[in-house]
Amino acid sequence: MPDEGSKEMRADAGSSSKAVLWSALCLTACLLAVLVSYVLRNYYVKAYSDPINWLLYAVNIREKFSDSYWPVGYPLFLKAALPLFGKYAVFLSNLPVLIIMGAVSGLLAGMLEKKTLCEKLLIGIGCFALLISFDPGKIVYLSNPYRDPLSFLLIVTSVALLWRYIDGGGKSLVSMGLAGLALGYAYSVRETSILIIIPMLLYGIVEWRLNRDIKLWRSILVFGLFALAGALPLLLQSFTGMGQSVLPPQAVASQDLLPGLHVETQKSTFPRAVEYFAGNGGLIYLPALIAGLVFALMSKNRKVLLVLLPGVALYFLFYSFYERFVSRYFYIVVVLSMPLAAYGLYAVAGLAARFMKLSGQGQKYMYLFVTLVLSMRAALGLIGAKPEEPLFRIENARELAEYIDEVLPEEAVVYTQRHLCEVIDFFTSVDSYPCYEYCYNDSLELGELFEAVEKKIVQGRDLFVISPSRDEGLCSGATALEGLFKLTEISRFKPADYNLQSDIYDCEEAVVFRIGRWDDLEVVHQIQWPDNNGGILQVDVGRLWHEKSKRVKAELYYNDELLSGSISNGVSFYRINGGSSNGLLTLRSDNPVRPRLDPVVLDMSDEITLNFGEDSKPLFTDFLSESFLEMRPPRSPRVRSVHGGGSVRIPVPWEIGAEWVYATFVVRAYEKLTGHRLVLEFLNAEEKILRTAFVPADDLGHIISVPLFSKEDMDEFLVSLKIRAEAEISGVETTLPPALDLDRVIVSRVPIVNELEINVGSGDRAYIVDGFYKEEVFNGEYPVRWTYDRAIFDVRMLEPSKQMDLELRHVAGVRAKDAPSSDMEVMFNGERIEMAIVSESGGEGPRIETLQGTLRLEAFRPVTNMLEVRTSTWTPADYGATSDRRKLGIMLEKITIKEAK
């Protein structure tokens, strides 16, 4: 019989284990409470993009089952979750999935070595604490209906069940079957989940070779049959939609075995992935991983070396070749690597306990201490975390839905910008569509737009559009619709009242407009002139003409004087001579016309700016040829993109006298490619080259001033543009497409003068040919521009009869001390001009410096002359001055050409 002392020792050990166990359970409860509290404080309803697409897929699963190429596994899960959570709380439906996923990840950590139940529990809690502290924001993000958490949970569950089967000597076929079922359904949720089968198969074969009690083919058969059962939803979907079940629907639809995988993008995605893990890992994760790997190698831990490590490497490398870095894709690497990190930490703790010669109970307390530290670290990171701005939550979604359902009739149709349209469509009784479906203002699509909206009006549908107010500027969709239909305001609301963040709807005040037919045959506007000198009148008549219109005539009058008997679509410019301070602008037609002409009064000296972006107000796309409207979508809503070339109509409403007319094009290469450039040729209607310009294939906007004509009276001027791409080094082939973005064109007049003064940065656009950055203000006083290494002015002036002086004012002393000197060289019509400093203001540091040189009479050409400034460049970021990565020449302030004294 055991003596009384040994009984007491066992009793003490039992009570100690119970104390540790209860402590572990309390830690678990606290961690869960902290995590749930953190998510509920920081969550937001992402009722757009992927989450809303998955929810709509689930709602319409019968219709989409065979039509969609996205896997059906997650929509089936959401279909079951929607009745349980409801359409609002479903945006938190992934939270329990994430919690269970973390628990199974902890279970994997506890299964890596043979330990007592208490020790396994402590290791699992530590792993869970590590996981939730790695990137807490991602847990909030993934609480929304993304498919990723469910696929991650199924992957780790499949691995855990396989390990259980192997640890049990291959006796529990239920575990093996469930492992296959979990992985099969993970494949139905996210196709890339199947990658984990490679290390799982490798591990199973190695374990079978070591333990022949495990029946290999029976195991494979059971796993395979249940995996097929789990994958059945996706296999059926692929068969009904694509006529085959070998490949998933997305691979067939995209004709790409691995959609999204691009070898050439690895150079950009891989470094960002490394940065993500290094930035979030802190001082614990990466050292713990290394420790886990070392101990696994020392102990030949096959679960680590054959499953976890290959799985982590496989997913990390696979997603590194994706077209862009997406952190939620890489979160499976976090989930699979965290058991290895926990294994490393607790192995170090066990080593420390042995070094300190602690008993078995002492090791448990050491484990408890490590778990407590990890839990406190996680809790402290989550307890105080609050959102930096009000977030769109469930209560906000309810309030917005109540407002929309109150303002709009049931089953109405409302157009608005993304992502507000998705929010309205899901939560309310109305149908909502993105405005971009109706924002293109092309003549090719006008009839289709008119017919689509008119058809709904005929069907008796109530149509509306939600847009920023007119004071802020209508959205592009509302602008396009107003060109064809009458918009009547019925309500207003402030997006901030519903915590609609900028990515949902970004404006101060939104207006709800009813869409209806035009009903006036005549519209009249009172025009007020600032003085009696007249000016230029800008008028927008909307989309009067299209293939579905029945209009025969439309006439525009000013004070009963006919301005145009054949007015065209969109914006037009008219010269109004002086005589009175006001007048009446009238549009008459045989069919109803737009109730608003949005007249704008311009002074005779004003420039005319044509902004070509889809979000510009008004739209000037009628001045562009069809080629500018064919590239869909443009790179930005602020530009129009064109491939190969096109033409632009330049309005010239002035009465031209002794002056030149210039069109300044603001452009940018469509794609960036270092060492390559675009060659632009601007031609007139007679195919005469007006200007040739070179645009580097960088991310910067470039200004090109094109001379049109002088001393001619024309209403408009047609400029054709031809684009080709080339390498800056001769003989090198280029892959750069001959495509560019056109931002805007500024039309201006420049007087023909005997002497010339160019204020760089404020009145220089008509003279700039190439080689300048955008305008800046130096020292809060001087408008300036930085040059490239080669900056060119077009000097247009009367041919002088005497020798002229050239003065160049620039800001000196702005380069870093160890940057190269500018080595400025000035050329006039190819002739080098000797420049000397004649004055400078200021002492050390930045100062205004004036240089002067003489222009020989013989150097001048009739009408047009080229002034070129060449410099060496420097990049401020290379010298720690600023983060500016531009290659800068000199900062020019003024150019003057005047008669020599």
Q: What is the DSSP string of 280-301?
A: HHTTTHHHHHHHHHHHHHHHT-
- Mean pLDDT, residues 477-491: 88
Work out the pLDDT band at 151, boundaries 50, 70, 90.
very high
Give yes or no for a contact between 331 and 148, defined as CB atoms under 8 angstroms apart. yes
Q: Is residue 848 included in any domain, yes or no?
A: yes
At CA 591, angle to CA 590 and CA 593, rounded to 5? 115
Picking from 894, 886, 871, the residue whose alpha carbon sits closest to that of residue 782 is 894
Q: 615 and 592, same structural domain?
A: no
How far lies 201's CA from each of 209, 306, 666, in Å?
12, 9, 59
Q: Mean pLDDT score of the chain, rounded to an integer?
A: 88
Q: 137 and 13, same structural domain?
A: yes
Q: 402 and 532, same structural domain?
A: no
User: Which helix (H) or strand (E) covers residue 356, if one does?
Assistant: none
Last residue of a domain, one of 602, 618, 639: 602
The counts of H helices and E strands in the chain are: 22, 32
Q: Is residue 388 included in any domain, yes or no?
A: no
**pLDDT one-digit tens code per residue, 193-241:** 999 999 999 999 999 999 988 999 999 999 999 999 999 999 999 888 8
Picking from 809, 835, 806, 838, the residue whose alpha carbon sits closest to that of residue 823 is 835
Work out the pLDDT band at 12, boundaries 50, 70, 90.
very low
Q: 612 and 746, same structural domain?
A: yes
Q: What percent of the chain has pLDDT over 70?
A: 93
Q: Give Cα 25 distance to the centre of its chain.
A: 44
Mean pLDDT lowest among 79-83, 707-711, 761-765, 896-900 = 707-711
**pLDDT one-digit tens code per residue, 46-57:** 998 899 999 999
Report pLDDT for 254.
66
Q: How far apart are CA 359 and CA 353, in angstroms?
A: 8
- Mean pLDDT, residues 374-401: 92
Number of neighbouring beta carbons within 10 Å of residue 52 = 21
The verdict on whether omega for the bond into residue 651 sits within 30 degrees of 0, i.e. cis, is no
Q: How far apart are CA 675 and CA 654, in angstroms?
A: 42
Report pLDDT for 21.
82
Q: How far apart are CA 299 and CA 280, in angstroms?
A: 29
Q: 269 and 410, same structural domain?
A: no
Picking from 821, 819, 824, the residue whose alpha carbon sits closest to that of residue 850 is 824
- Mark out the alpha helices in 168-307 (DSSP H runs): 173-189, 197-210, 216-242, 249-254, 266-281, 285-299, 302-303
Question: Number of structural domains, the chain?
Answer: 5
Q: 640 and 543, same structural domain?
A: no
Q: Is residue 389 included in any domain, yes or no?
A: no
Report pLDDT for 266.
59
Token pair recorded at residue 862:
């009739």
Token pair recorded at residue 745:
């064109």
Q: Is residue 206 included in any domain, yes or no?
A: yes
At CA 787, angle to CA 786 and CA 789, rounded to 5? 140
Give yes or no for a contact between 69 and 237, defined as CB atoms under 8 angstroms apart. no
Token pair recorded at residue 76:
């089936």
Q: 561 and 509, same structural domain?
A: no
SS3 of 304-342: the string is HHHHHHHHHHHHHHHHHCECCCCHHHHHHHHHHHHHHHH
CATH of the domain at 581: 2.60.120
- Mean pLDDT, residues 684-694: 90
Q: How far apart are CA 692 and CA 683, in angstroms?
A: 9
Give yes or no for a contact between 665 and 709, defined as CB atoms under 8 angstroms apart. no
Token pair recorded at residue 306:
């054959």
Beta bridge partners of residue 561, listed in sequence order: 558
User: Above 80 in pLDDT, residue 267?
Assistant: no
Give yes or no for a contact between 776 and 878, defined as CB atoms under 8 angstroms apart. no
- Mean pLDDT, residues 722-730: 90
Q: Which residue has the higher pLDDT, 239 or 648?
A: 648
- Residue-wise burial string across 571-594, b where 16 or more C-beta atoms lie within 10 A, e elsewhere: bbbbebeeeeeebebbbebeeebb
Q: Is residue 812 included in any domain, yes or no?
A: yes
Token pair recorded at residue 357:
């010669």
Q: 53 and 29, same structural domain?
A: yes
Evaluate the CA torsion angle 43, 46, 51, 55 in order and state its sign. positive
Sort strands 776-778 and 782-796 into parallel, antiparallel or unpaired: antiparallel
Work out the pLDDT band at 845, boundaries 50, 70, 90.
low
User: Which helix (H) or strand (E) covers residue 91, if one does?
Assistant: none
Q: Is residue 401 included in any domain, yes or no?
A: yes
Report pLDDT for 441.
41
Picking from 163, 199, 188, 186, the residue whose alpha carbon sits closest to that of residue 316 is 199
Sort strands 413-416 and 463-468 into parallel, antiparallel or unpaired: parallel
**pLDDT one-digit tens code per residue, 581-618:** 788 999 999 999 999 899 999 988 888 999 987 767 78
- Mean pLDDT, residues 627-637: 74
How far lies 875's CA from each of 402, 792, 815, in Å?
55, 21, 9
Q: Is residue 258 included in any domain, yes or no?
A: yes
Report pLDDT for 68.
86
Token pair recorded at residue 478:
């509302």
Report pLDDT for 712.
58
Q: How far apart are CA 445 and CA 451, in angstroms?
A: 10
Q: How far apart are CA 509 and CA 407, in angstroms?
A: 16
Catalogue the E-assigned strands of 364-418: 413-416
Q: How far apart are CA 530 and CA 25, in angstroms?
A: 80
Edge-to-edge strand list for the sheet holding 645-651: 645-651, 716-727, 676-683, 689-696
Q: 86 and 204, same structural domain?
A: yes
- Mean pLDDT, residues 863-878: 89
SS3 label, residue 348: helix
User: Which helix (H) or strand (E) covers residue 648, if one does?
Assistant: strand 645-651
Report pLDDT for 632.
65
For residue 568, what are the domain limits?
520-602
Last residue of a domain, one of 602, 617, 639: 602
Residue 849 neighbours by CB under 8 Å, 6+ apart: 809, 810, 811, 812, 837, 839, 840
Last residue of a domain, one of 383, 406, 436: 383
Q: 506 and 412, same structural domain?
A: yes
Residue 110 neighbours by CB under 8 Å, 6+ apart: 119, 120, 121, 123, 124, 127
Q: Is residue 9 included in any domain, yes or no?
A: yes
Picking from 500, 112, 56, the residue whose alpha carbon sits closest to that of residue 342 is 112
Mean pLDDT lowest among 424-428, 718-722, 844-848, 869-873 = 844-848
Which residue has tokens 């007048």? 583
Q: How far apart are CA 211 and CA 191, in angstroms?
A: 32
Q: 472 and 533, same structural domain?
A: no
Size (the chain), residues? 901
Give the CA count within 13 Å in the CB-facing half-sphere of 659.
Answer: 15
Q: 503 and 464, same structural domain?
A: yes
